[in-house]
């Protein structure tokens, strides 16, 4: 049986759960870092998305050290090197598996979206 995790003060852009726990695994929906009515740069959006991810994981009893897979979606290829630098701050030792794609987003202004899978 799976368990649904939602964090009340983290807004959602549609009808989905922030995370679903199945067995020892937790699957997080993609988190973006934009803030309503504010223009944020790539670093700010990346850090905001990671903050949301940490809060969702902690609500479910997990932490960043439990993350085994990360998918990162970038609006611009030019942010790839900066993303690597920022990623290394959150996962300095034994980083998880990762996929990075450059893609378009449904909402204008989104520069990065991140989803993770973690395991106990």
The C-alpha atoms of residue 76 and residue 9 are separated, in whole angstroms, by: 29
Q: Give the gyration radius of the chain's Cα atoms.
A: 14
Residue 84 pLDDT grade (very low, low, confident, very high; cuts 50, 70, 90) = very high
What is the model's pTM?
0.95
Q: Per-residue pLDDT tens for 46-81?
A: 999 999 999 999 999 999 999 999 999 999 999 999
Side-chain half-sphere exposure of 101, counting CA atoms within 13 A: 10
Query: Is the torsion defined by CA of 17, 18, 22, 23 positive or negative?
Result: negative
Q: Which two tokens stand for residue 83?
A: 């993303």
Architecture, CATH, for domain 3-7+20-119: 2-Layer Sandwich (3.30)
Token pair 């990065």 is at which residue?
112
Q: Which two tokens stand for residue 95?
A: 């980083």
Query: Please, are residues 57 and 49 in contact by the beta-carbon 8 Å criterion?
Result: no
């Amino acid at each position: 049986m799976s368990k649904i995790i939602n964090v009340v003060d983290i807004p959602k852009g549609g009808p989905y759960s922030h995370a679903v726990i199945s067995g020892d695994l937790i699957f997080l929906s993609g988190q973006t870092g934009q803030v309503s009515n504010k223009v944020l740069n790539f670093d700010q959006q990346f850090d905001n998305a990671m903050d949301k991810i940490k809060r969702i994981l902690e609500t479910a009893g997990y932490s960043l050290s439990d993350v085994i897979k990360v998918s990162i979606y970038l609006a611009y290829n030019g942010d790839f090197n900066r993303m690597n630098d920022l990623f290394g701050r959150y996962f300095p030792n034994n980083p998880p598996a990762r996929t990075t794609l450059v893609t378009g987003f449904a909402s204008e202004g989104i520069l990065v979206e991140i989803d993770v899978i973690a395991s106990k």
